[in-house]
Amino acid sequence: MNILILQASPRANGNTVWMAEEYKKAAEAAGHKVTLVNVAKKKIAGCLACEYCHGKGNGACIQQDDMQELYPLMNEAEALVLAAPIYYFTLCAQIQAPVQRMYCVNKPAKVKKMALLVSSYSPGVYDGATAEFRDICNYWSVENMGFVTAKIDEQKTEETKQKVIDLAGKL
Ligand SMILES: Cc1cc2nc3c(=O)[nH]c(=O)nc-3n(C[C@H](O)[C@H](O)[C@H](O)COP(=O)(O)O)c2cc1C
């Protein structure tokens, strides 16, 4: 299976990068092809709601930013993993932008399954993120494989690593 992981934390040594890499290793070990994109390093603006894509653009977005290199990867992926920290009780802006820019084609063409990896400092801050993730899975009619969360004392631990490996095992 062709897997795309979008990693959205700007912290190179943070927990989200670590979980994304552990997921990649586990999925590759099971024989999947995995592409990990650090979207935090990309320049991806929010959707302009200009509707160019639904008119003259015929599915293409008018904004010429780094999302243009992500569209082919999004549309070839069969499973999509969102890896993001919690900022202000929701998924960070760096993951929201690429997801919302899929508006031009409505949904990634081949994605059948999605998973979520989330880091935070505090416990009990995941309701917004997991509800959004659940609703996107439903909206895109893809299987919700579930999520792994890691608050500060759960980050980079063997227990969390095993949860990430188990989540990758659902592919
Ligand atoms: C702008 C900002 C907002 C944050 N908001 C929250 C929050 O609402 N709840 C929380 O528990 N942690 C919050 N955090 C902490 C991060 O979620 C936490 O440090 C997480 O481990 C970051 O992931 P990373 O290690 O992959 O970068 C915030 C951090 C930043 C920079």
Residue 6 is assigned to a structural domain of this protein: yes
Give, for ligand 1, the residue of 5, 82, 86 to mutate: max count of ligand atoms closer than 8 Å to Cβ. Answer: 86
56: containing domain: 2-163
Residue 91 is assigned to a structural domain of this protein: yes
Question: Where do the H-state alpha helices sit in the chain?
Answer: 15-29, 67-76, 93-100, 127-139, 158-168
Place of tokens 């990068």: 17
pTM: 0.98
Q: How far is CA 85 from CA 11, 22, 147, in A?
A: 10, 16, 13
What backbone phi and psi angles, to 5 degrees, belong to 53?
-60, -35
Distance from residue 87's CA to the centre of ligand 1 (Å): 5
Residue 96 is assigned to a structural domain of this protein: yes
Q: Is 16 in the pocket of ligand 1 (CB under 6 A)?
A: yes
Residue 43 is assigned to a structural domain of this protein: yes
Q: Is 11 in the pocket of ligand 1 (CB under 6 A)?
A: yes
Residue 171 is assigned to a structural domain of this protein: no
Q: Is 146 in the pocket of ligand 1 (CB under 6 A)?
A: no
Structure confidence by residue, pLDDT tens digits, 101-123: 999 999 999 999 999 999 999 99
Q: How many domains does the chain have?
A: 1
Atom number of ligand 1 nearest to Cα 123: 11
Mean pLDDT of the chain: 98
Structure confidence by residue, pLDDT tens digits, 131-149: 999 999 999 999 999 999 9
Structure confidence by residue, pLDDT tens digits, 10-45: 999 999 999 999 999 999 999 999 999 999 999 999
Place of tokens 């991806």: 44
94 — pLDDT class (breaks 50, 70, 90): very high
Residue 13 is assigned to a structural domain of this protein: yes
Q: Is 86 in the pocket of ligand 1 (CB under 6 A)?
A: yes
Residue 170 is assigned to a structural domain of this protein: no
Residue 168 is assigned to a structural domain of this protein: no
Which CATH number goes with the domain that contains 37?
A: 3.40.50.360
Distance from residue 130's CA to the centre of ligand 1 (Å): 15
